[in-house]
Amino acid sequence: MDMKMAELAQRSGLSVATIKYYLREGLLAPGRRTSVNQAVYDDAHLERLRLIRALAKIAGLPLQTIRAVIDSVDGQSSVLHAMAVTQDALVGDVEEEEPVSDEGRLEALTEAERVLDETIRARGWECEPGSPAHRAAVRAVAQLHEEGLTALVGRLDDYAQAADAVGRTDLEAVTGAASLEETIRGVVLGSVMRRPMLDALVLLAQQHYARQHATI
Amino acid sequence: MDMKMAELAQRSGLSVATIKYYLREGLLAPGRRTSVNQAVYDDAHLERLRLIRALAKIAGLPLQTIRAVIDSVDGQSSVLHAMAVTQDALVGDVEEEEPVSDEGRLEALTEAERVLDETIRARGWECEPGSPAHRAAVRAVAQLHEEGLTALVGRLDDYAQAADAVGRTDLEAVTGAASLEETIRGVVLGSVMRRPMLDALVLLAQQHYARQHATI
């Protein structure tokens, strides 16, 4: 269904100025020109804008990173590749990337990686050993160790089992999407907007088990 | 074991200036005076500083909120109450608290609450209906709806099941702690530092299931 710029803005929830900016930056394909200063846009434009909006406004990614994700969608890459690019963008954004010089820290990271890889093997996960997600997991486990939260690290297999259910559900929820673009948007939003929901659900579960603990 | 200020600083990972600030603010009890300008501190001081550090540096809570959590520990309240205070502090920090005036938004929140409460009932969770965690969950579900991510909302029960396992593991991991102070520290860090670990594990699970999807 063709629509003018004003309607595109209204339906995408973005300002006309923002849409024109994305057009200039080449993130959005030009509309079909209907006169010298008029163009119309279709559902593909709307879907693309919704993806860009998710990446920019909700995931808070910089333009360069958004371009990498968009390129992987435009390249009609596989879900696997597009998800890898999206994950890298999402994790890279929060990752501290200073080189590790401290020897104790290096030891902690090596030990954390050993523990993590054992858990990964136990679960039978096939995943990228050097991916930002893997490095983020190593750092998170090392940090728990450093804070003396060994009880949490000791339950790594239990957390991995829960994570398995979440990751499987994420994939099942997005792979029914109509287009790769919609799938990627699901992956991005699944990684960004599903988080607060899961976090809040965990708090509710904590309330429940804290209450049980109190009445025992 | 008694220690001087310098050792307390070194073992807590906090500067002397920061520790003196907490002493002035009454968050940390004074040490035992050994001369006019010397005092010694014990393991209770160290444990308290570790808790404050977790609340301040890792959870990023303001002083007023830290005081509320500390008060609940000092009041020797139950794990249940201390956890409620901690959860409120953690969620309240990120919650948008503007009043809802938009009618469509109000409708979305009402529907989200209905869906959420159905899931809570199905799981048999006993939790606080009006708690910040509950409100955060309602908002998160409403936001997924608003972004058209109905596939994710449709899997709410699956996410709740995974959250149940995480919340149960969190509680099991902390309730073995030696003191209420240590338990609260576990709850705080469990809610703050366990998150990046779980998030990263979910990404690894996504990689695994994306790969399976690709090879089917």
Nearest residue of A to residue B11, measured between CA atoms? A147
Note the pLDDT tens digit of each residue in A113-147.
999 999 999 999 998 878 889 999 999 999 888 87
- Please judge whether A149 and B193 are an interchain contact, meaning their C-beta atoms are less than 8 angstroms apart: yes
In sequence order, the β-bridge partners of residue A38 are A35
Rounded to the nearest 10 degrees, how much is the dihedral formed by the CA atoms of A192, A196, A202, A204?
-160
Across chain A, where does the E strand assignment appear? 32-35, 38-40
Question: What's the average model confidence in pLDDT over A43-55?
Answer: 89
Length of chain B: 216
Q: With 50 as the cut, is the pLDDT of residue B37 above it?
A: yes
- Kindly provide the b/e burial profile for residues B87-125, where b requires at least 16 CB atoms within 10 angstroms of the residue's own CB: bbbbbbeeeeeeeeeeeeeeebbeebbebbeebbeebeb
- Please judge whether A210 and B79 are an interchain contact, meaning their C-beta atoms are less than 8 angstroms apart: yes
- DSSP string covering chain B: --B-HHHHHHHHT--HHHHHHHHHTTSS---EEEETTEEEB-HHHHHHHHHHHIIIIIS---HHHHHHHHHHHHTT--HHHHHHHHHHHHHHHH--------HHHHHHHHHHHHHHHHHHHHHT----TTSHHHHHHHHHHHHHHHTT-HHHHTTHHHHHHHHHHHHHHHHHHHTTSSSHHHHHHHHHHHHHTHHHHHHHHHHHHHHHHHHHHHH-
Q: With 50 as the cut, is the pLDDT of residue A171 above it?
A: yes
Question: What's the average model confidence in pLDDT over B56-73?
Answer: 84
- Size of the A and B interface in Cβ pairs below 8 Å: 279
Note the pLDDT tens digit of each residue in A183-205.
777 777 777 778 889 989 999 99
pLDDT band at A214 (very low <50, low <70, confident <90, very high): low
Q: With 70 as the cut, is the pLDDT of residue B109 above it?
A: yes
Is A22 in contact with A66 (CB distance < 8 Å)? no
As to burial, measured by CB atoms within 10 angstroms (0-12 exposed, 13-18 middle, 19+ buried), residue B128 is: middle
Nearest to B151 among A54, A120, A173 (CB): A173
Our CA-based measurement puts residue A87 at a distance from the nearest CA of chain B, in whole angstroms, of 7
Is B197 in contact with A144 (CB distance < 8 Å)? yes
Contacts of A193 in chain B (CB under 8 A): 140, 143-144, 147, 149, 152
Q: How many CA atoms lie within 13 A of B198 on its CB side?
A: 29
User: Complex ipTM, two decimals?
Assistant: 0.82
Our CA-based measurement puts residue A103 at a distance from the nearest CA of chain B, in whole angstroms, of 17
- Please judge whether A152 and B194 are an interchain contact, meaning their C-beta atoms are less than 8 angstroms apart: yes
More confident residue, B181 or B28: B28
Our CA-based measurement puts residue A68 at a distance from the nearest CA of chain B, in whole angstroms, of 18
Nearest residue of B to residue A185, measured between CA atoms? B149
Q: Which of B207, B212, B215 to mutate to test the interface with A (most CBs of A within 10 A)?
A: B207
For tokens 């709806």, name the residue.
B145
Nearest to A214 among B80, B125, B133 (CB): B80
Note the pLDDT tens digit of each residue in B158-172.
999 999 999 999 888
Check residue A57 and give its pLDDT.
Answer: 82
Check residue B216 and give its pLDDT.
Answer: 45
Q: With 60 as the cut, is the pLDDT of residue A82 above it?
A: yes
Check residue B77 and give its pLDDT.
Answer: 66
Share of chain A above pLDDT 70, in %: 94
Check residue A3 and give its pLDDT.
Answer: 94
Nearest to A79 among B171, B173, B213 (CB): B213
Question: What's the average model confidence in pLDDT over A206-215?
Answer: 79
- Please judge whether A149 and B199 are an interchain contact, meaning their C-beta atoms are less than 8 angstroms apart: no
pLDDT band at A216 (very low <50, low <70, confident <90, very high): very low
